[in-house]
Amino acid sequence: MILTQGDISFRLTKKLSQKHSYIRVKKDGSVHVSTNSFTREKTILNFVAQKSSWIKKQQTLLSKQTYHDSATKEEAKAIILPLVEKWASIMIVTPTFVGFRKNRTRWGSCSGKNRLNFNTHLAKMHPDFIEYVVVHELAHIRHKNHSKYFWAEVEKFLPDYKERQKLSNH
């Protein structure tokens, strides 16, 4: 059910088992309220009214974050896609897909189906490190592990790959 309190529209979900009322602002800025089945509509509207400044603050923060994430992703694409094209041609490999994500721990990945994904935060890294990550992931198209054959493949194209790896710390 969709309800409105002032200038805030929200989706209401009622559950028998729920003891308290909760407000959640989703990444797209939409507001979701969940409460137990016995809470009256007037109580829910008052709850949302009390929390309206918090809701608007969350929506503003999320819209800024979404804009920033989008700009970073576009920057990463502009830097990395030409490198993937260049090195795939040199290494004679073909990724089936190149995607970009905001990751916490990985700079890149290559799936068993040769789908490459790159961390959008790479855009802020040293160009030599970015190039190393691209070659590293493209080498996984031939070698799906980190065997000596994999590292030989990386070294064949980037003899200085060990120095480039260290640039991730800067």
For 85, 111, 149, the CA distances from 144, given in Å and listed in that order, are 20, 8, 10
Q: Which residues of the chain have pLDDT under 50?
A: none
Let me know how many helices (H) and strands (E) the chain has, helices first.
Answer: 5, 7
Q: How high is the pLDDT of residue 71?
A: 86
Q: How high is the pLDDT of residue 66?
A: 77
Tokens 């065997």 belong to 147
Phi, psi of 97 (to 5 degrees): -165, 145
Q: How high is the pLDDT of residue 170?
A: 54
Q: Which two tokens stand for residue 11?
A: 């989706």
CATH architecture of 69-169: 2-Layer Sandwich (3.30)
Give the domain ranges of the chain: 2-50, 69-169
